[in-house]
Amino acid sequence: MKLTFTQQILAAKKGMNAAQAERQLAPGNLILVDVDTAMSNDVTAPVAIDVFEGSGCALCNKDNVTFVLDHFTPNRDIKSAQQCKRVRDFARAHGVKNFFDVGEMGIEHALLPEKGIAKPWAVMIGADSHTCTYGALGAFSTGVGSTDIAGIMMSGKIWLKVPAAIKFELSGKLQKGVSGKDLILHIIGMIGVDGALYKSIEFAGEGVKSLSMDDRFTVCNMAIECGAKNGVFPIDEKTDEYTKESTGKTFPRFEEADDEAYERVIKIDLDKLAPTVAFPHLPSNTRPVGEVKEEIAVDQVVIGSCTNGRLSDLAEAARVLKGRKVKKGVRVIVIPATNKIYLQAMEKGYIKTFIEGGAIVSTPTCGPCLGGHMGILASGEVAVATTNRNFIGRMGAKDSYIYLASPATAMASAIAGRLIGEKGLEE
């Protein structure tokens, strides 16, 4: 097969056979594609709405528009309250059914798969850079600007440049204490923050089977952090299990693409991966946490976000904390990504473990990840976070410091009061 997973999705959307797709979907070609879902949030939707209303156009398809109020909600201040009201009023006036507010909302990139809005073979476009998350399900999903979303609201379509692709061939399986977060940090550290610029990163090989759906969501979520246009996993039995619950259906498989379809093939042995951390101020500034020799004191730990706020993430954090206490002076904020996940974590006893161990648990929100609220850093403070970016000033003061890590490493650091891996607690 000469078509990458991404090309197969776009070909299906355009109704092309393989021969037509090979000619018309070569990397770099521009194509006009029907969009299954156009998503925006309380930060990006108001701009899209302003542009849309200024156009004088009618809403093309209210069912392919999704609004999730998750960045500054529950509202941080008057300005964020006005932003959310703008979206609420528009959704009500236009009968937008996929509108998620406080009490129904969750962090968008966990919520849309959970609700069955994100699904295999779909073209998912979002006014948020981490929209690439949905490639874990075998979708073509990518982030754009608010004006692009306005264009989709008018037409139901978007112009795309077909990306070239890099194949990551995975073998082996992740060892205990190593997760999808460690895999994607390893990849970003290997190729750099622009190593896949405007390319699709696609995953294949026997090692894929060992990755849970939550691992895959995490990996695709951070595809943008190496510059990728999108990330895609194959559709397999684990995808089926997930989509049966979210949509009531299963979906056809991709055909495996020949290596020649890819610009580059990179082989990764999952057996050899170790818990990994990204030092400030780039996600590519990585090293195995076991090799960190410096004493890096930690002020705050955040476990959550669209990257690592799913049930298995909370389970890992609770497992490390069980029977232990957060070091006095360290603030630990745990944020379940959706209300469903919050309830599941409560039923399994994770919430009790967090609170008894000295952490707090927040309603679903993006909050501290983008320096919005619920955990802003002061000058000179250090955070270990399961979020996706550690740029200067990302979580608060410009001279604060963010270390990106998995939930297990983040919670171990909270217990020790310094950057450390789980194994370091036992030494």
The domain limits of the chain are 5-272, 278-426
What is the reported pTM?
A: 0.95
Q: Which two tokens stand for residue 193?
A: 């923050």
Cα separation, 179 vs 109, in Å, equals: 18
Note the CATH architecture for domain 278-426: 2-Layer Sandwich (3.30)
Which one, of 304, 297, 273, 301, lies nearest residue 287 by Cα? Answer: 273
**Percentage above 90 pLDDT, the chain:** 93
Q: Give tens-digit pLDDT for 49-66.
A: 999 999 999 999 999 999
Q: Are strands 276-278 and 286-288 parallel, antiparallel or unpaired?
A: antiparallel
Give 297-335 as a DSSP string.
Answer: B-SEEEE-HHHH-SHHHHHHHHHHHTT--PPTT-EEEE-
Q: Residue 220 has what pLDDT?
A: 98
- Cα within 13 Å of Cα(314), Cβ side: 33
Cα separation, 128 vs 108, in Å, equals: 9
Cα separation, 149 vs 47, in Å, equals: 9
Q: Give tens-digit pLDDT for 155-193.
A: 999 999 999 999 999 999 999 899 999 999 999 999 999
Decide whether 5-272 matches 278-426 in CATH topology: yes
Cα separation, 282 vs 286, in Å, equals: 8
Task: Say whether 122 sits in a helix, a strand or coil.
Answer: coil
Average pLDDT over residues 219-244: 97
Q: Residue 396 has what pLDDT?
A: 94
Where residue 73 falls among pLDDT bands split at 50, 70, 90? confident
Cα separation, 291 vs 186, in Å, equals: 14
Q: Give tens-digit pLDDT for 285-307.
A: 999 999 998 999 999 999 999 99
For the beta carbon of residue 312, count every other beta carbon within 10 angstroms. 18
Task: Say whether 100 sits in a helix, a strand or coil.
Answer: strand
Query: Measuring CA to CA, how many Å separate 277 from each of 12, 182, 285?
Result: 39, 7, 8
Average pLDDT over residues 12-26: 92
**Fold of the 5-272 domain:** Aconitase; domain 3 (3.30.499)
Tracing tokens 């939550």 back to the chain, one arrives at: 214
Q: Residue 329 has what pLDDT?
A: 95
Q: Which two tokens stand for residue 228?
A: 């990728």
Average pLDDT of the residues of the chain: 95
Q: Residue 424 has what pLDDT?
A: 79
Q: Which two tokens stand for residue 95?
A: 């009968």
* Secondary structure E strands in 213-356: 230-232, 264-269, 276-278, 286-288, 300-303, 331-334
The radius of gyration of the chain from alpha carbons, rounded to an integer in Å, stands at 21
Q: Are strands 230-232 and 199-204 parallel, antiparallel or unpaired?
A: parallel
Residue 36 clears pLDDT 80, i.e. is over it? yes
Q: Give tens-digit pLDDT for 308-334.
A: 999 999 999 999 999 999 999 999 999
Average pLDDT over residues 391-419: 96
Residue 427 clears pLDDT 70, i.e. is over it? no
Cα separation, 217 vs 117, in Å, equals: 15
**Percentage above 70 pLDDT, the chain:** 100
Where residue 2 falls among pLDDT bands split at 50, 70, 90? confident
Q: Residue 425 has what pLDDT?
A: 81
Which one, of 10, 96, 118, lies nearest residue 48 by Cα? Answer: 96
Tracing tokens 């940090």 back to the chain, one arrives at: 185
Tracing tokens 């952090």 back to the chain, one arrives at: 225
